[in-house]
Every structure is written in C-alpha cells, then in structure tokens.
Structure 1
Amino acid sequence: MRVVIVGCGRVGATLAAQLATENHDVRVVDRQPTAERLLPTGFPGSFHVGNGFGRAVLEAAGIEHADAFVAATSTDNTNIVSARTAKETYRVPIVLAGVHDPRRADIYRDLGVPAVSSVRWAVGRIHQMLLHRHLTPELAFGNGETVLVRSELPPYLTGRPVTGFDVDGEIRVVEVTRVGRSLLPAHGLPAEPGDLVTFAVAATALGRLRGFLDKELGT
C-alpha cells in the first residue's frame, strides 16, 4: 500500500516508521527539511519538503497513485486543507487526519474525513484504520490496545457456534445483532446469515481477525 503522510512530527514520523517496517510504500511530506531527522536511520521511504496542500510536492510524493493519505501536521488548518485536497482533487481512497481542537471535529465530519486525536493513541488508531478499515471501530480502550469492532459474518460461517470464534487473550465475541435485535451470545448459539457480530479484539490481533473473516470456504 502506498501511503502519503503530511507532517513529520511525532505522529507522522512514528506512523511512517511503523508502516515502513511492514513493507508499505511510505512517502512523507513536511515543510521543514530538519523534520526528516525524526525518521529512523535507514528509513526506506521517501521524504519531500513542502506544504502538505501544494500540488507540486504532493505529486512528487506520488499522491496520484496513493492508496491512503494521512494529514498529521501540528495545525488543524493545514490538516483540513491537505485532507480536502487529497480527497477531492486526487480522489485518494483512504483519507485520515489528526485534529488538535475537538471543536473542529465537525469540519472533518462534514468533509467525510475520519479524524483522530492524542499523539500516542492516534498512531495506533490511524494504523488500525488504514489496514483494517472494513472492520468498523466502535470503541477503543486504554491507548488503543483493545478495540471493539463490528463485522457481518461471511456466509461460510453460517451454522457454526458464534462463541467458537473466540481466541483466548486475543478475540472474544461480545454481542450479536440479528434481524435488528441485539443479544448476548449463549454458548453454542449458531451463526445465522446476516449476523452482525461485535468483537473485543487485541489491537495486535486485528490482522488475525481480518484473515479469519476474509477466508473463503475451502481455502
């Protein structure tokens, strides 16, 4: 996945380093050349100097072929403008942004851009949303180590006990919404077509849950 990150502060640099270790194609943009120092030695991605909403620097960073864009600068105005540019001008599929003033959250919502706040929590939250976007986050606990996610079960799981999807210490089914009604799953309750299941998941196990839900019968 190609990710363009605008802002090489604590959030941007940490997220860039984490994604790079997972072999994603990471491009970082910052108006300050010295910000590159926050990236780890041997960072395999690229660093570009310029404003996060300037078309020349964004195109040099490869935004026209980006799969995701993250606005993580220290100012909300820059984040709003750059996120809007990525979403509306370049049609980047995934656009996320950091927000420093909670009162501005409505602006992001109106733009259709998910926004997150708090440095330590934001890195984990953005990372989850980039890689596990089809698992809808409902709530996070602590610094994001545990999250609640909801997903409709794939057809191949119909008839299997819902509680059989639990993985000790990693994944636990905590609720099922069936035909519009919520219920707490009893032991042995079989899954039915259309079940919307709420999982409590360790953030480190999101990939495992995603693989389990994406698996096709017989593969």
Structure 2
Amino acid sequence: MRVIIVGCGRVGATLATQLVAEGHDVRLVDRQPKARGLLPPGFPGAFHAGNGFSRSVLEAAGIDHTDAFVAVASGDNSNIVSARTAKETYRVPIVLARIHDPRRADIYRELGIPTISSVRWAVGRIHQMLLHRHLTPELSFGSGETLVVRSQLPGYLTGRPLTEFDVDGEIRVVEVTRAGRSLLPAHGVLAEPGDLVTFVVAATALGRLRGFLDKELGT
C-alpha cells in the first residue's frame, strides 16, 4: 500500500517507521526539511519538503497513485485542508486527519473525513484504563465506539456455550485461544478452563462485560 503522511513530527515519523517495517511504500511531506531528522537512519521512504496542501508537492509525492493519506501536522486547519485536497481533488480511497480540537472533529466527519482527536482519544483511553483495568482495549474502531478486548474466562463460566456470552448490539465473542491454538467459536462450542477469549464490545457496554467477567469475584 502506498501511503502519504503529511507531518513528520513524532506521530508522523513513528507511523511512517511502522508502516515501512510492514512493507508499505511511505512518502512523507513536511514544511520543515529538518523534520527528516526524526526518521531513523536509512529510512527507505521518500521525504518531500513543502506544504501538505500544495498540489505540486503532493503530486511529486505520488498522490495520483496513493492508497491512503494521513494528515498529522501540528495545525488543525492545515490538516483539514490537505485532507480535503486528497479526498476531493485526488480521490484518495482512505483519508484520515488528526484534530487537536475535539470540537471540530464532528464537523469534519460530516465532510466524510474520519478524524483522530488527540484530546478525545487520550481522555477515552485514560477513562477506560481507570475503570476497566483488566479489559484494556487492544484495538478500537471509528472514534472508539467499538473495541476489541481479550480476557481469560473466570472458572464459573466453564462448560457454558461461548456463543451464550453474546449480547446483541453490545458484545460478541469472535475468537478463543485454547492451549496455545486459536479457533473461531462455532455454535455449541463450550468454554474450557484457561480459555483466552477475544470480545468485540461497544464502548458503552465495557462496564457490563467487566461486571459479567468479575461476577465470580463479587466485584
């Protein structure tokens, strides 16, 4: 996948390094040429100095054949302008923008540009870790409305069908790791001691899942 990242700060450089390590073609754009210094030595991706909403800069970075565009510069306005340029002018399939002011996030989402709000994300993560310490999400979708969590099942649930733990629209069992092997729970598969279960859960139902798993402890 070819990805253009606008903003080579800590977030942009870290994301670029991870994507390159996974085999993706990464092109970075930043107004400051010295921002290249945040990339690791020998970084194989391309770096372009210039504004992330400049068509000449974006075209030099190969935006005409780009699969994804991520705007993570320091300013909200520049992120949105560059993201809209990528989406509306160049029709890039996947466009994401980082927003520092969470009050703007919903406005931009209505424009069809998913946003990551640093403040909202941090508050949500801290809240989850305070109230659901043993159910720290491993993955989230959207703006954190849907989460993936893993937990070992308590003993009192042994022998019950795994599909029995599903709650329509709130909680669903999607995978079980048993004796070091992963399996997708078919109808009728029973929970066994030591099962490590992967749940997809609505963020609003995380407390319900925690209470369900902690029932044996009386917490």
TM-score (norm 1): 0.61
Alignment CA distance shift 1:69-1:186 (3 Å): closer
Which aligned pairs between 1:11-30 and structure 2 lie closer than 5 A? 11-30=11-30
Q: Matched residue of 1:200: which SS?
A: strand
In the alignment, which of 175, 187, 191 is matched to residue 166 of structure 1? 175
Gaps of 5+ in 2: 123-138, 150-161, 165-172, 190-197, 202-219
The 2-side partners of 1:37 and 1:9 are apart by 10
Question: Hey, what does 1:176 align to over in structure 2?
Answer: none
Larger radius of gyration: 2
Aligned AA for 1:168?
A: T
Alignment partner, residue 108 of structure 1:
108
Aligned residues: 155
Mark the CA change 1:136 to 1:117 in structure 2 (over 3 Å): closer, same or farther. closer
Cα deviation digits, residues 122-153 of structure 1 (max 9, x gap):
9xxxxxxxxxxxx9826759xxxx9339xxxx
Aligned ranges 1:104-143 → 2 under 5 Å: 104-118=104-118, 137=141, 140=144
> Retained in 1: the 8 A contact 2:174–2:199?
no
**Per-residue Cα deviation, 1:164-210 (whole angstroms, up to 9, x for no partner):** 9523299899xxxxxxxxxxx99717xxxxxxxx9439xxxxxxxxx
Cα RMSD (Å): 3.7
What does residue range 182-193 of structure 1 map to in structure 2 within 5 Å?
188=188
Q: Partner letter of residue 9 of structure 2?
A: G
Counterpart of 1:64 in 2: which secondary structure? helix
Determine the structure 2 residue equivalent to 1:33: 33
The one-letter amino acid of 1:76's match is D
The Cα shift of 1:68 comes to 0.2
- Determine the structure 1 residue equivalent to 2:72: 72
Task: Kindly state the Cα deviation for residue 10 of structure 1 after the two structures are TM-superposed.
Answer: 0.9
Find the aligned partners of 1:138 and 1:68 in 2 and give their Cα distance.
16
Contact kept, 8 Å, 1:171 with 1:200, in 2: the verdict is no
Q: Measure the CA separation in 1 of the matches of 2:7 and 2:32.
A: 9
Query: How far did residue 47 of structure 1 move?
Result: 0.2
Corresponding residue for residue 49 of structure 1: 49
Shift of 1:107: 2.5
In the other structure, the counterpart of 2:216 is none
Question: What's the secondary structure of 1:167's corresponding residue?
Answer: strand
Contact 1:172–1:199 under 8 Å retained in 2: no
Specify the SS of the correspondent of 2:44: coil
When normalised by structure 2's length, the TM-score is 0.61
CA distance in 1, matches of 2:143, 2:91: 28
How much identity, in percent, do the aligned residues show?
69
Match of 2:84 in 1: 84
User: Which runs of no fewer than 5 residues in structure 1 stay unpaired?
Assistant: 123-134, 150-160, 174-184, 190-197, 202-219
Q: Which amino acid aligns with 2:33?
A: P
CA deviations 1:3-56 (Å, max 9, x no partner) are: 000000111110000000001000000000000001111111000000000000
Cα distance in structure 2, aligned partners of 1:115 and 1:74: 14
Give how far 1:108 is off: 1.4
